[in-house]
Structure 1
């Protein structure tokens, strides 16, 4: 492999542009081609980021281009087929989250990576945020002691993305806000906690606003030709083998003050709170009489660039992937169990 990692972009939407901005900042990376079924959009993205070649079919791009890796920025239902095909052709893969529509697909993706001997990473970029890294450091240094409970969520007031788009169709997205934004905070909280083994899950979902086409402001237009058959709020309680618990909230729409992205950790020696919107991390300590809290206002770190850097280091054999596929499989098991619990009303044992 040359010093430059030659990357093919699969998908030309908004999320691909976030990855392309990171590629422009990384001297080792070069986007040499882009593929999207919407060719006009691909051409616009290619022009914006000086990508020399455009394809309508990602398989044709992989066959014709000398690529080292691909970045998959496609709707959820395409994550598994795009990834497994790319791996079968000897390409390293960085795939957008969620890993897949279900755990069976996720397992097949990892099997394909193992068989090909190639790197597979899921783009859990929020692991690379300054707040997450600081909280991870606190846990590893035993500032919190034993973490016995955590609370996390990504909740919006008005944020149904493109009503009628693939986001709101279960067969294409796999679900609503739980698998869209909840997957981010679930992963980062598990990452901070050291990925304890989940043993049971209880979940509940609601579709209060989506079916009425309410609360769609600011996140996309209404497509009357589409449908809405996913949740707009999901809640869950997850139990772990070590005795710890985690509560999760994920919503696109609710009557709340404002959008929040948060993580709170409760330990027997201290606590921590992350506000990813305000970019703050607070450590809570006391000696039984005096509070010894400290709040850190953190400079914005380019988490997409940090994600790409780790991916390139892994491709070049210089580091291990920070986002390991087996961890994303654990996330997928939990997501599947939440939806199954919501359908049956029962506690799901893993």
Structure 2
């Protein structure tokens, strides 16, 4: 289904779909999908997802969960009310480097996390909220339950960059820099703990991770020059997890409630020039 009918017909011809739709209600009248992927223009994500939840259709929901905090919280509320099977698209949680680093850490807590997201000419108003949420969510997954955050905007030319500081329930802290106009695509996450450091990185030229303990480099993995960007950003692994968990009737992960805190952080960072000691509501 695509609200631009010509695109729907083109996709059907390319991939062999029997029918096309340009309207969600029309599709639901004519079909009973086993599952849906909600990847709509940002202003429609929440309303389409809620419609599918109320129809009892499992879904993988692309970010943003809502263009306002009210929309995002309504998605969480309806998911709980309907007991719908909903998975949020936060593919850094399925990143092979992140998972390998977590395996190496073997439960050792991070005391401080430093992360950066750099992009090229991303001046759209929703960048901090809609794209920044990927790395903020990864940091929140790695750090634990966030309980408060503060932050600030600063400007590079005519574009706002943001720095967010997060405090976690377990006493850990994090700093996240969101820089949409640096001239390169790159993400880095560094985790510091008792007698160890882990660094995870991805950029236009490749990806990898390294781990140090006791002053020695213990692990290092990196891609070759011919790396597959689709695999590197974990979109395939995330989608396969959605399908396999549905087939085997396993819980979907992450669910809307599990990413609400990182969504709140990004909404507040995008909507306020100055953020000071904002207390987050943790459900």
Please tell me whether residue 283 in structure 1 is matched to residue 231 in structure 2: no
TM-score by length of 2: 0.87
Please tell me whether residue 55 in structure 1 is matched to residue 31 in structure 2: no
Deviations 1:187-210 (A, max 9, x none): 1222233xx222221122245445
More strand, by proportion: 2
Deviations 1:26-80 (A, max 9, x none): xxxxxxxxx2222112222222222222111122112211212211111222111
Contact 1:125 1:307 survives alignment (8 Å): yes
Partner of 2:197: 271
Q: How many residues align?
A: 272
Contact 1:209 1:253 survives alignment (8 Å): no
Contact 1:122 1:323 survives alignment (8 Å): yes
Runs of 4+ in 1 over 6 A off after TM superposition: none
What runs of 5+ residues in structure 2 fail to find an aligned partner?
Answer: none
Partner of 1:67: 33
The structural deviation recorded for 1:282 is 0.3
After alignment, is 98-107 or 63-72 more displaced? 98-107
Cα separation, partners in 2 of 1:345 and 1:274, compared to 1, 3 Å: closer
Q: Distance in 2 between matches of 1:138 and 1:236?
A: 27
Contact 1:94 1:120 survives alignment (8 Å): yes
Choose the corresponding residue for 1:154, options 114, 117, 135. 117
Contact 1:310 1:319 survives alignment (8 Å): no
**Root-mean-square deviation (Å):** 2.2
Choose the corresponding residue for 2:89, options 114, 119, 123. 123
Contact 1:103 1:329 survives alignment (8 Å): no
Partner of 1:347: 277
What runs of 5+ residues in structure 1 fail to find an aligned partner?
Answer: 1-34, 162-167, 170-174, 211-230
Q: Distance in 2 between matches of 1:207 and 1:58?
A: 40
